[in-house]
Amino acid sequence: MARGDPLDGQVLLLAAAKASVAPQHLPGLVDRAQAHLGPRLETYRREYECVAEEDDRAVFLVAQGHWAGLGGELGLDDREVDALRRAHEEQLRRMGTVTERREEFESALDIREAVVVGT
């Protein structure tokens, strides 16, 4: 992880390739989102299912549309919201691959969204 954000560099590269934002723009979006999410970690712990946790991040499954709401709070356009949503989903997939839970996480992403919060 670079810059203290909760997403791996390879995840950012993959998400940027799939999203409609410039690759150099995504790290700044991730930083903005983390600045917004970090202080809400305990709220996420109380309100959402934590499906994976490491020393420096926790991953929560939230209702579909959650990123659209966060994007509104952050003043982001639809492309930026999509890029962040994709990046957080890719981080969950990567963690699922490492922990042999990828199929479980893929199924969860059919009905929910992932939010990765740095701890």
CA distance 109 to 119: 22
Task: Tell me if 118 is assigned to some domain.
Answer: no
H-assigned helices in 1-119: 9-18, 26-37, 41-47, 66-74, 78-98, 102-109
pLDDT digits (tens, 9 = 90+) for 89-115: 999 999 999 999 999 999 999 999 999
Task: Tell me if 22 is assigned to some domain.
Answer: yes
Domain limits for position 46: 9-110
Per-residue pLDDT, 23? 81
User: How many distinct structural domains can be found in the chain?
Assistant: 1
pLDDT digits (tens, 9 = 90+) for 33-85: 999 999 999 999 999 999 999 989 999 999 999 999 999 999 999 999 999 99
What's the N-to-C CA distance of the chain in angstroms? 13
What is Dmax (Cα atoms) for the chain? 36
pTM of the model: 0.92
Query: Does the structure show a pLDDT above 60 at 1?
Result: no
- List C-alpha distances in Å: 44 to 27, 51, 68, 83: 22, 12, 16, 21
